[in-house]
Amino acid sequence: MKKVLITRKLLRSCEDKASKLFNPHFNSNDEQYSQKKLIELSKGCDGILSSLTDKIDKETIEKLPATIKIISNFAVGFGNIDIEAAKKRNIIVTNTPDVLTDATAEIAMLLILGACRRANEGMEWVKKENWKWSADFLIGKQLTGSRLGILGMGRIGRALAKIAKSFGMEIHYRNRTKLNNDKEMGATFHDNIKSLFSVSDVLSICCPATKETKDIINKETLEYFPTGAIITNVARGDMIDDEAMVQALVSRKIYAVGLDVYKGEPKIHPEYLKQPTAFILPHLGSATKKTRTAMADLAIDNIDKYFKTGNAKNKVN
């Protein structure tokens, strides 16, 4: 049986599945492997089932043993892996698309609701046990009739649009290409971010992390938004210039922010924690049993198919 290094602990049913197909090396303590340890543990292995928390950069890939033929990433993204370096070593890289769409769209909607309705402030008042109801207590923003801008109208963006429409939101989006009418579902396409941001009462960032999207929310682009806009992010932390965002919150240019992802996870820019209108979650996008099981099963299937056929269904390089 092929030997596979599984870098993080999986749900029990998924580890049982892997045991039937491979000779797996499990991470029973679910520790975060250093790059040095990952390289050491991969010796004698034929493949790696990695996690988004594993930094598999060019230096790491160049030091992997020649036996490694596939890296199956337990994530929809693959920004933690140097794709070109893997390609040069003829190492296949795969990911787990599709299966986490609905779960992540739910969290995107939760961020919108939490930021708009001042959930973070509300929870703090509950803990104090001394709040008093009044007509103007914690007045927030209602979603009905507001404009939702979606940056990246892929699977997650479209799933979010469907949910948001049921709240009476008007959908606008920016994508690399305009969608056909069936996928667009009545949403308005914008061919540049300035146009999209200027009509976004609420923005949800759902696009992939690329060189072009790094710090796409910055001091300049924040000025495009209507005063009092809300910005949320379920994509990657690299999309937001944190210093600029904090200043926009302080100045009230931006009403609130909702983040499920941020730079330096689990560390966060300390100023966010001082902002009462920052509604922040610890990367819960795919955190349901159904979705995490489906992700792990797909990552396992990607390896199994490659070993059996030489092809990988969800190949990204």
Q: Are residues 34 and 77 in the same domain?
A: yes
Determine, yes or no, domain membership for 35.
yes
Bridge-partner residues for 151, per DSSP? 174, 205
pLDDT at 79: 87
CA–CA distance from 265 to each of 92, 131, 181, 262, 297 (Å)?
27, 33, 38, 6, 25
Convert the pLDDT of each residue in 34-88 to its tens digit. 999 999 999 999 999 999 999 999 999 999 999 999 999 999 988 899 999 999 9
CATH number, domain with residue 213: 3.40.50.720
User: Is 269 tagged catalytic?
Assistant: no
For 257-279, the pLDDT digits (tens) are 999 999 999 999 999 999 999 99
Whether 33 and 135 share a structural domain: no
Q: Which two tokens stand for residue 305?
A: 């198919």
Residues 121 and 88 in one domain: no
Residues 153 and 134 grouped into a single domain: yes
Rounded to two decimals, what is the model's pTM?
Answer: 0.93
Residue 227 phi/psi, 5-degree rounding, is -60, 130
Q: What is the pLDDT of residue 166?
A: 98
User: For residues 63 and 48, what is the distance between their CA atoms, to the nearest angstrom?
Assistant: 14
Task: Please give the average per-residue pLDDT across 193-211, as a whole number.
Answer: 96
Q: Distance (Å, rounded) from C-alpha 13 to C-alpha 246? A: 42
Q: What is the rounded average pLDDT for all residues in the chain?
A: 97
**pLDDT of amino acid 316:** 94
CA angle in degrees (0–180, nearest 5) for 299-301-306: 105
* Confidence label for 20 from pLDDT (cuts 50, 70 and 90): very high
For residue 97, the 8-state DSSP code is -
Among the listed residues 83, 80, 13, 95, the one whose alpha carbon sits nearest the alpha carbon of residue 49: 95
252 classed as catalytic: no
**What is the average pLDDT across 176-202?**
97
CA-wise closest residue to 79 among 214, 175, 176: 214
List pLDDT tens digits, range 78-137: 889 999 999 999 999 999 999 999 999 999 999 999 999 999 999 999 999 999 999 999
Q: Is 236 a catalytic residue?
A: yes
Q: 109 and 221: one domain?
A: yes
**Among 265, 269, 271, 292, the one annotated catalytic:** 265
Catalytic annotation, pick one of 121, 170, 271, 283: 283
Catalytic residue selected from 158, 172, 236, 292: 236
Percent of the chain predicted with pLDDT > 90 = 97
Q: Are residues 258 and 293 in the same domain?
A: no
In this structure, the answer to whether residues 186 and 302 fall within a common structural domain is: no
Q: How many domains does the chain have?
A: 2
Are residues 301 and 274 located together in one domain of the fold? Answer: no
Check: CB of residue 232 under 8 Å from CB of residue 203: yes
Exposure class string for 30-66: b at 16+ Cβ within 10 A, else e:
eeebeeeebbebbeebbbbbbbbebbbeeebbeebee
Q: Is residue 209 predicted with pLDDT exceeding 90?
A: no
The tokens describing 189, both together, are 């396409």
Give the H/E segment covering residue 164: helix 155-165
130 and 169 assigned to the same domain: yes
> In the prediction, which pLDDT does 77 show?
86
pLDDT band at residue 289 using 50, 70 and 90 as cut-offs: very high
Tokens at residue 235, please?
A: 């994509």
Looking at the structure, tell me whether residues 24 and 163 fall in a common domain: no
